[in-house]
Chain A
């Protein structure tokens, strides 16, 4: 899940300065779960903007705002979107980008959220970063715990000198991820994995912008 947080209303009002008619997009997936872009947040944003003299031309809660076809359909079905002075998107950066792509050169699109990280969900409302989407997964040799993501220094060959009784000196609330990896591998009798020198990361796997285009499989009649 993509975790987002709300931007300060003052910053959003700055974006919208000089623009009266505003259309709102929310996202019924990740942002809804994060309580940043669901039905309730669209209503809250409507109230805030109205209090500040804006006219809300409409709101759309898209199932996945990062899905271009869904957003496009909404644009077609709803003329109010393009006749607005601004579009505010309560979704992650991918959602904002998708809406902006469709609005293209006409109506300016603004983000209402900051996108934070890719999380595993402990339970509702408790999100923890687990993966950096680096393009070179090493979890097979780190007991399913990503040091590239969870170690503040992203170290690949074991703990630094900053371990305090198994905890991380950068944030003492956290276990040292390398101590966690060590313990799990030891329990699995796989410490030999840890003893191998891990080579430097290949950042060429993460050159931006990244894309994946699946080949269309021919379906037999």
Chain B
């Protein structure tokens, strides 16, 4: 099963969402959220110790999703594993039936709940993409043939709002050269700027899923502006949130609007609703209800 790849190749507007593994072994809440999203999205990203906070393994949770009939995007960071562990986990994911992988650098341990830990970063995200490409060719990182390789759909991330943009762009192109085939972006609020990025990115043989981060409140929007790199929530959106009675509801409405906008030109959208996965379904429904003429991307 690789509904993500099929959906993107068939040029359908593709939706992914993020699900965060639990801080422990009780998977009931995780599975409840997964079941809510089933059938609503094309694939679900499983975060890997996001924000350097220790949680249940992304590999294990990706398998849980697979058993539920949801196509998982196994997120892998460079922070917690050296190149041996990285390769064996990637091959492990493959033999378990996982078909999509998202390669990330990973947040620094100083942000998380294990600040005294050793940050590994044996590879960086470009080298990680390159490593997966080698495994796909049936070789290990040192170009030695394996007894059976992988055929993973390789994704990476890009921050179209990065400041300065040029170094980020060079890295983005390196990721493509290394073998990344789909990109999920950092949260977008400046749609015009994103559209420019999309136009520039059209020259490459890649698929792009624009990032939508659900704004749960004006407070959260302000927090993002001061604390999250590459994210710039415009003032008018913050004001829109502030002036509404139900800020979460307004956030869902804004996200739905963005989803609809992305639907008009982009390959897909990646919805991040941190802890509010149930809202993802509402965002998608709302986007449909406000839709007029549905013009698929590509």
Contacts and interface: CB of A to CB of B under 8 A. Distances in A.
B33 interface: no
Interface string B93-126: 0000000000001111011000000010111111
Given A153-B105, A197-B178, A160 B125 contact: yes
Contact of B123 (A159, A160, A162, A200): A200
Interface string A196-221: 01111101000000000000000000
Nearest to B130: A197
A152 B120 CA distance: 11
A161 B105 CA distance: 8
A170 B111 CA distance: 8
B64 interface: no
Given A156-B124, A195-B173, A161 B166 contact: no
A179 B168 CA distance: 9
B167 interface: yes
A182 B108 contact: no
Given A153-B119, A155-B124, A200-B122, A160 B105 contact: yes
B83 interface: yes
Given A154-B121, A155-B105, A170-B108, A179 B164 contact: yes
A12 B139 CA distance: 53
A169 interface: yes
A164 interface: yes
Contacts of A162: 107-108, 229
Interface in A71-120: none
B108 A158 contact: no
B144 to A, nearest CB: 14
Contacts of A155: 105, 121, 124-125
A178 interface: yes
Contact of B157 (A154, A161, A165): A161
B229 A164 contact: yes
Contact of B168 (A154, A158, A195, A198): A158
Contacts of A179: 164, 167
Given A157-B171, A160-B105, A195-B173, A200 B166 contact: no
A166 B126 contact: no
Nearest to A156: B124
Describe A's contact surface by its main secondary structure: loop
Contacts of A169: 108, 229
Contact of A182 (B125, B141, B166, B177): B166
Most chain A beta-carbon neighbours within 10 Å: one of B130, B163, B167, B174:
B167
B189 to A, nearest CB: 16
Nearest to B226: A164
B186 interface: yes
A200 B127 contact: yes
A200 B168 CA distance: 19
A162 B298 CA distance: 30
A191 interface: yes
A197 B174 contact: yes
Given A170-B111, A201-B122, 11 more contacts: A152-B119, A158-B168, A161-B157, A161-B159, A163-B167, A182-B170, A195-B170, A197-B177, A197-B178, A200-B83, A200-B123
Interface of B: 78-79, 83, 105-108, 110-111, 119, 121-127, 130, 141, 157, 159, 162-164, 166-168, 170-171, 173-174, 177-178, 186, 229-230
Q: Ordered nearest first, which 4 A-B pairs have the shortest CB separation?
A: A158-B171, A157-B126, A182-B167, A160-B105
14 contacts: A153-B121, A157-B124, A157-B171, A158-B170, A158-B171, A162-B108, A162-B229, A163-B163, A182-B167, A186-B166, A191-B170, A197-B126, A198-B126, A200-B123
